[in-house]
Structure 1
Amino acid sequence: MPEKSWFFALKEKDLTDNSIEFVRVKDTPIILFRKNGNIYSLYGKCSHMGCRLSKGAFIDEHTLKCGCHGWEYDTRTGKHPGDKDATLETYQNKVEGGEILVMV
């Protein structure tokens, strides 16, 4: 397995609170979002039918609902309630020099 490394994902100024941004980092679809000042990074496509999760909506503080078919995910862990096989990968991120970097 290739070694993971930090890669540019998005300018920090382009990620506002409660927005969801879809990016590709090393050909990996990822969503970035900010909640209460914290930045989160998740695999960017729903495990159900591959819809972009950036078209989804937050239904509470830590739950993202897919805009296509309503599948829900815990934004902290990527877990889908009731289906452990539908868990989305989460990614470490950090901000350096006004840029959001993601570990891929």
Structure 2
Amino acid sequence: SYDGGWIEIDLLNELPLPQRTGRKLDSMTLSGRWYHRDGLGGENTLARARDEGKARTLVRGDGTNLGRWYLKSFEVRGSSMIHDGSCVITDITITLSEFPTRERVGI
């Protein structure tokens, strides 16, 4: 999700006035699926990353550095539960938010 950096200010009896304010932080939502017991290990890994509270460098599969991002949230949904209470299929949705560098925010 990319913001253009504009807001609209409502005016009485007029069209809204667009004003450039600077863009919001970018966000990214990734979805995937784990099978068998891999879901539990992956969920624990994400929970540890959340608890560390660190921004991390994100690198795309082709080696492109996408900058620093932090884990904003993640959601886990299990399905096809078997006799021991574990899920055969675990769907995951991860939301990341851009972490601005000092150069970006002008500090």
Shorter chain as denominator, the TM-score bin is under 0.3
TM-score in terms of structure 1 length: 0.27
Structure with the bigger percentage of helix? 2
Larger Rg: 2
TM-score in terms of structure 2 length: 0.27
